[in-house]
Chains A and B, each alone.
Chain A
Amino acid sequence: MAHQAAPGAGTRLFHPGFEGHSQISARTLGFWLYMLSDALLFTALFAAYAVLDTPMNAAGGPIASQIVNPIEGFWQTIAILASVTCYSLATVAMKNGNRAGTALGIIAAMVLAVVFLAFGFNDLATLTAHGNGLGRSGYLSAYFVLILTHAVHMLIGILWMLVMLVQIPRYGFNEMVVARMLNLRMFWQFQATVWVCVYIYVYMIGA
């Protein structure tokens, strides 16, 4: 066995400048673990939705088959997947050092995300206008909270993209900016993953 110095007062367990460490890898793995915990939040909301998705919990109000439209949901699905693809393509442009291409991909992703949110908010506003708002029944509470939680994530993602549109021309593709772009890519792809679950569970099985 090779001789190893015993740990002492001078021993450093972690050194940020050590060449074996990768700041980008550490940041992306940490953010990935955060996203898995965020996924558990959605899991709890899906569990609540599953429990409250019964005529009794609709309390005389509408049930899923009366408020969701699989065809309209499909347009939303295309919008969010196109948004995710545009952002992912922006990171391909980043890989090639193309700042203009990166910005263009981010802007396209933002526009498509706004289209997605417009569909969703229009649905919720229409329901509320007809007296079927958040507090109408247990079922509608679960429905609104699930949809709105996802929408809030989308809004945070759009805000994050705006920040990146400022940081890329200001700092260039340095280590921090690249790590943030990669984390945002995971975050944005995660929104599409959650939406697939929402679309299948609420818009299809509910229909």
Chain B
Amino acid sequence: MAGSHSDPLAHPEVRQGGALRYIAGFISTVALMGAAMVVTLRHDLAYSSFVELVGGLAFLALLSQAVLYYGLDISRSQIWKSVSLILTVPLFIITVGLTVWMFQSLDQRTMLMPTTLQQPTLLQ
């Protein structure tokens, strides 16, 4: 943690903000989401390839936000935010991943339904 400052506006977390960085964050995220939307509307990829591509674009957008919006890095004022996020991300993945996996197993064993009702989703 950074030391105290008599002038709050001299604090490192105030000083780290920059107009160019925020505008770059806006442009990069909009561009990545726009690319994902185009991929979605074209409907010319297999479902698994489509999920991988759109997921990759989402990852890049989130990475862009982490760096350009939140300003996460390994500087003295930001290191513990970066570390806590890195330690928490596996919890996100475990929560969603294990839930989907458990219900996928349950679905396959107990929810027998006509083929006509089936469509590709993450659960199937």
Contacts and interface: CB of A to CB of B under 8 A. Distances in A.
A, B: real partners? yes
Interface of A: 19-26, 28-29, 32-33, 36, 39-40, 43-44, 46-48, 50-51, 53-56, 63, 70-71, 73-74, 77-78, 81-82, 84-85, 88-89, 91-92, 94-95, 97, 173-175, 177-179, 182, 185-186, 189, 192-193, 196-197, 199-200, 203-205, 207
A71 B11 CA distance: 41
Main secondary structure of the interface of A (DSSP, over half): helix
A192 to B, nearest CB: 7
B41 A70 contact: yes
A28 B103 contact: no
A106 to B, nearest CB: 14
Interface of B: 1-5, 8-9, 11, 13-15, 17-19, 22-23, 25-26, 29-30, 33-34, 36-37, 39-41, 50-51, 54-55, 57-58, 61-62, 65, 69-70, 77, 80-81, 84-85, 88, 91-92, 95-96, 99-100, 103, 107, 111, 113, 117-119, 121-124
B30 A51 contact: no
Q: Which of B13, B61, B91 has the most CB of A within 10 A?
A: B13
Contacts of A207: 40
Contacts of B95: 40, 43-44, 47
Contacts of B41: 70-71
Contacts, number: 169
B81 A32 contact: yes
Given A53-B122, A81-B26, A47 B4 contact: no
A204 B11 contact: no
A37 to B, nearest CB: 9
B73 to A, nearest CB: 14
- Nearest 7 interchain pairs by C-beta: A47-B99, A178-B8, A88-B22, A200-B58, A25-B1, A85-B26, A51-B103
Contacts of A39: 88, 92
Contacts of B88: 36, 39-40
Contacts of B107: 54
B9 A173 contact: yes
Contact of A70 (B37, B69, B99, B103): B37
A43 B122 contact: no
A186 B16 CA distance: 13
Contacts of B123: 50-51, 53-54
